Structure 1
Amino acid sequence: MISNSKKDFLFELIKNLSPAEKRSFKLFAKRMEANENAKFVQLFDVLDKMSHYDEGALLKKLPVAKKQLANLKSHLYKQLLVSLRLIYADRNVELHLNEQIDFARILYSKGLYMQSLKVLEKAKQLATRYFLDTLVLRIVELEKVIESQHITRSMQDRAETLSQQATDMSVQISRKNAFSNLSLQLYGLYLKTGYVKDAEDRKRVEAFYAANMPQFEIQELGFYEKLYLYQAQVWFFHIVQDFPLCYRAAQRWVDLFDEFPDMRKVATGNYLKAYHYLLDTLFYLGYYERFTEVLQKFEDNLRTPDFQLDENGSVLAFLYYYTNALNIRFMRGEFSLGIEAIMPTFKKEFQALQNKLDVHHQAVLNYKVACLYFGAGENPEAIFYLDEVIKQTGAGLSEDLQCFAHILKLIASYEAGMDEDLDQQIRNVYKVLVKMNDLHQVQREMMAFIRQLGQIYDYQLKAAFVALRERLKPFEQHPYEKRAFLYLDIISWLESKIENRSVQEIIQEKFREKMEVEK
């Protein structure tokens, strides 16, 4: 099984090449006449024309034995990566710097020590400009090798200078790793369990955060140390649902890139994430005007001609743009308009990028789209997207998201009149939630209410909806129950049933009232 998956890596790489990258590879591969009819070039041409990987068909079209195929594929894979490296070396600072370090090593091995040191000095200046500490340390270590073996007389007190630089870089890298480790662990914790669920849960997260947060003076931190510090703060305050402090940390993260604009080109993924998490926090806080302002700035930055995105950046830009384009429709209650404005382009782009999105982010987008359709009263479509969330199981998925996907599906099924097997659905969902250990008071109230729906007469429904709203209202500001309302505006749905109006009418009215108060 492992062997088969490895064989597919080459096919997957070829299918991910752009037409320009394929042309560049052909030119690169045929730069020598001997390669004109080389077998690895023939292999590339055959795989490029295949719609799906078929080893049997491949062997029929190539003048190569089956036992030679693995080596041939391995060679082609390496040649493709070398070709891509040549294309992107001038567009990516880290690739360029690694290339310069390689050049310096070649010059050193040829005995051209001063030339090697000159290349390294230029590379070190560039790496320092972009705060690439690990590369600076690599350069300094190579400089130390040259100086320790050969008297270059390139600088007085050279040995002391290089030793101090290496020590300073090691301290900085160690501190940066501590911040980045904490940030990554908190992110993994959120993906696994979502928000804190009770006081004991909060104490556990707070203890972990305090124990792993390095001692620091903010003025002594470099760019990446601050970046990972703000990331860790964002995730911590997000998990404990302290959104005002989360907002402050996210704003500092964005401000960091305003302070160091050159870093947008090097740390592009983190730049996009900074804007996303600032917008995400503003959405949870309900700060509509600030959200609109930041979203507009984010969109303007994406359209800036000198802001070039690679494929990874394009995937992140797609993810963050549509997440927040959906969020602003939720804030306004514009569900039907959102479907018209967003879904045609979203479906097309999502289909093209789906294989490049991890299961968590696919689930988040599917859940948000389901909420859009649910808010517009298009329940069968909502159920379709909820099923896309529910069928994704395993590591990397938020239990919170799965939990509320199940509950929203029950509500959407009831709304759509698809309630003939509602009792069985409820039992199945209850088992899932118990297994998740995620059945809290809001969910319990919702499950109990849905279970009774089939036994309530029509003339009793309004009173039942009113009673449920009154039971749930106190939980909107409860420190550990309010998370339910971040996933699903249950109160607005209940009010729509009580007043016999659509959900989007209720939310639009609340939005207008909120804007009037804030004027």
Structure 2
Amino acid sequence: MLQSDALILLIHNLSPAEKKKFKSGRKTADYTRLYDIIENSGTASSEEIKKKFKDEVGSSFSASVSYLYRVLQDLLLHMREEQDSHYLLFNQILKARVLFEKSLYEEALSMLALAKKKAKHHQNPIAHLYASRLEMEFLLFLNFPQLTERELLNKHFQINETLKEIRKVNEHSSLYELLRHRLLYKGSIRSQKQKESLNDLVISEMSINSNHKDNFEIKKNHLLFQSNYLIGTGDYKSALHSFRELNALFEKNPLFWASQPFYYVNVLEGILDNLRGMKIYEDIPYFIERLRSIASKTEALQNQVEALTFIYTLIPFLDTGDFESASKIASQYEDFTALNLSTRAEISLYLSLLYLGFKNYKKAQKTLLSEIIRGNDLYILPTYRTMRLLHLIIHEKLGNTDVVHFEGRSIKRELAKADKAYRVEKLMISYLVSEKKIMLSKDREKLWKKYQPLLIEIRGDVYERQLLKTFDFTAWLEADIRRVDLREVLKTRSKS
């Protein structure tokens, strides 16, 4: 991604509080003029912004981009230091280094001692290791002033213990990541043989967990591993119990949320996403209440909590085809401009799907965030591929055949380059570009016989389900080919 594109994305993702902080007390300069142009540009591309900047300011665009990018990063780091112990600890360590370089040796060592104490308190072994090793460098430079060999050996022992802790946390994280990868790309466990193929991970995970019962990070990873393993083996009741234990762990240990509960919010989002994937909608309200109970000092996090609450209140009705109830929920949420681009995209997608369900295609088109569809650099966003296909559906329904053919060819070219494209994407493009010409009922029956086994096969493919979880395109295809209401197909699927 070009730095100018990254800067545009960064500015559009700033919270109102962050924008206010940047604007307070600033002086008129080329980089502040560039900021204003980007902020007021809407969905303009970097080339359009560059042209406008050249016309209005006339100075070097690339130099202003680089400077503004650095200024915003420094601002965000400074604000995070006030909110998050992780940032605070590492900034304190770096300040100790500066003090030592300026020959303030006693002050530097005192600051490192305080950083080590705080790192222990917050169970942050990485910060503790960095502070400890820096302390040893300082002491070596000063020829170990008033330090006995016993005290030196004790410091070495403490460093080795920290290294062991980091190693165990890393091993546990690696096992969880391996489990997630296997379940994502090989699918849920369907036989005893497949279950035994995970024995290496299970045995290793149990060994690590049994030796570190008091470590928050390892407990957290253990419960994440356990819940995902149970989901993979089909034991949803036990998985839900693990989710509740994970939630209880976070509620009992707010100290380790790093001052702001960003990670706790992410964990709850993961739990809600898993419940949705398992179609256990009846347990979603409990974890939504846990989200609502989070007290945040920052406007950005509070906005994120409100957005997730809205999304997962809406999703069960959308997934099951109850568009009337979903519409009542949607009417309670009006503005999402203060959210980051990824969350705004997700909300716009679900609202657009709601209007699609009501066959209000113009409103669906207006709701879908155009910068996601246009921005090739935004393909890493989780909703990008779903929004792109929905974009095609809407234009086909509006009779914009030229757009469908142009965008369809564009997507085909991208899929040809992709290492792993979704089969449902290819099927959707083929249907929208070619098969939709078939209008006679007898031809539709023939088309359904052709598509039905393909759709069943795609729904059973674990890789395809990663895309279908956001929106079941196979349900839309069935409804469109058979000329039945989408809500009826979705209702049937939710019971299966």
2:209 corresponds to 1:218: yes
- CA distance in structure 2 between the partners assigned to 1:442 and 1:88 by the alignment: 40
Distance 1:15 1:219, change over 3 A: closer
Q: State the shift of 1:274 in Å.
A: 0.7
User: Per the alignment, in what secondary structure is the counterpart of residue 21 of structure 1?
Assistant: helix
2-structure distance, mates of 1:197, 1:262: 36
Deviation at 1:340, TM superposition (A): 5.3
Unaligned runs of 5+ in 1: 27-39, 61-65, 515-519
Q: Which residue of 2 aligns with 1:333?
A: 321
The reply to whether residue 263 of structure 1 matches residue 246 of structure 2 is no
Answer yes or no: is 1:289 the counterpart of 2:271.
no
**Aligned counterpart for 2:119 among listed residues 99, 118, 127:** 127
Once the 2 structures are TM-superposed, how far is the Cα of residue 323 of structure 1 from its aligned partner?
3.3
Measured in 1, the distance between the counterparts of 2:479 and 2:289 equals 32
1:372 aligns with 2:357: no
Q: What is the CA-CA distance between 1:133 and the residue it aligns to?
A: 1.4
Query: In the aligned structure 2, how far is the partner of 1:44 from the partner of 1:439?
Result: 42
Give, as a single letter, the amino acid of the residue that structure 2 aligns with 1:100: Q
Preserved CA contact (<8 Å) 2:422 2:464: no
Which one-letter code corresponds to 1:309 in the other structure? T
- 2:130 counterpart residue number: 138
- Of all paired residues, the percent bearing the same amino acid is 14
2:123 partner SS = coil
- Secondary structure of the corresponding residue to residue 377 of structure 1: coil
Residue identity opposite 2:261 in structure 1:
T
- The AA in structure 2 aligned to 1:270 is Y
The DSSP-based 3-state class of the residue aligned with 1:262 is helix
Contact 2:224 2:246 in 1 (8 A): yes
- Residues 94/9 of structure 1: CA separation in 2 closer, same or farther (3 Å cut): same
Distance 1:320 1:467, change over 3 A: same
The 3 A distance-change label for structure 1 pair 357 and 182 is farther
Cα-Cα RMSD:
5.9
Quick one: distance in 2 between partners of 1:195 and 1:372? 30
Which runs of structure 2 are paired with 1:480-499 in the superposition (5 Å)? Answer: 480=462, 483=465, 486=469, 487-488=471-472, 490=474, 494=478
Check if 1:357 corresponds to 2:341.
Answer: yes
Tell me how far 1:279 sits from its aligned partner. 0.7
Check the 8 A contact 1:442/1:481 in 2, yes or no.
no
1:503 — aligned with what? 486
Structure 2 residues without counterparts, runs of 5 or longer:
42-48
Structure 2 counterpart of 1:93: 85
Structure 1 residues 230 and 267 mapped into 2: Cα distance closer, same or farther (>3 Å)? Answer: farther
Quick one: structure 1 residues 472 and 387, their matched pair in 2 at CA, closer, same or farther if it must change by over 3 Å?
farther
Give secondary structure in 1 for the equivalent of 2:254.
Answer: coil
Amino acid at match of 1:264: W
**Kindly tell me: are residues 100 and 403 of structure 1, through their superposed partners in 2, closer, same or farther at Cα, counting changes over 3 Å?**
closer
CA–CA separation in structure 1 for the residues paired with 2:94 and 2:308? 37
In structure 2, which of residues 279, 292, 298 is the aligned counterpart of residue 309 of structure 1?
298
Q: Greater Rg, structure 1 or structure 2?
A: 1
Amino acid at match of 2:209: I
Render the CA deviation track for 1:270-319: whole Å, top value 9, x for unaligned: 21111111111111222222112211221232xx3xx22364x4575466
Shift of 1:452: 5.9
**Secondary structure in structure 2 of the residue aligned to 1:325:** helix
- Quick one: structure 1 residues 265 and 439, their matched pair in 2 at CA, closer, same or farther if it must change by over 3 Å? closer
Q: Distance in 1 between matches of 2:305 and 2:254?
A: 18
Conserved 8 A contact 1:374-1:382:
yes
C-alpha contact 1:175 1:214 (8 A) present in aligned 2: no
Q: In terms of mean alpha carbon deviation, does 254-263 or 41-50 score higher? A: 41-50
Structure 2 distance, partners of 1:421, 1:70, is 40
Q: Is the aligned partner of 1:280 residue 2:273?
A: yes
TM-aligned CA deviation for residue 162 of structure 1: 1.0
Which amino acid in 2 is paired with 1:373?
A: Y
- Opposite residue 268 of structure 1, the aligned amino acid is P
Q: Distance in 2 between matches of 1:410 and 1:4?
A: 29
* Counterpart residue identity of residue 120, structure 2: T
How far, CA to CA, are the matches of 2:383 and 2:77 in structure 1? Answer: 41
Cα shift at 1:160: 1.6
Partners of 1:237 and 1:396 in 2: CA distance: 31
What is the identity, as a one-letter code, of the residue corresponding to 1:372?
L
Higher relative contact order (CA 8 A, sep 6+): 2
Structure 1 residue 6, shift from structure 2 partner: 9.1
**Paired residues for 1:173-188 under 5 Å:** 173-177=166-170
Residue in structure 1 matched with residue 21 of structure 2 by the alignment: 21
Q: CA deviation at 1:145?
A: 3.2
Q: Distance in 1 between matches of 2:6 and 2:380?
A: 25
| C-alpha contact (below 8 Å) 2:84/2:260 kept by paired residues | no
C-alpha deviation, 1:263, in angstroms: 2.2
In the other structure, the counterpart of 1:31 is none
Aligned residues: 472
Superposed counterparts of 1:225-264, under 5 Å: 225-227=218-220, 244=236, 251=244, 253-264=246-257
Deviation (angstroms), 1:182: 7.0
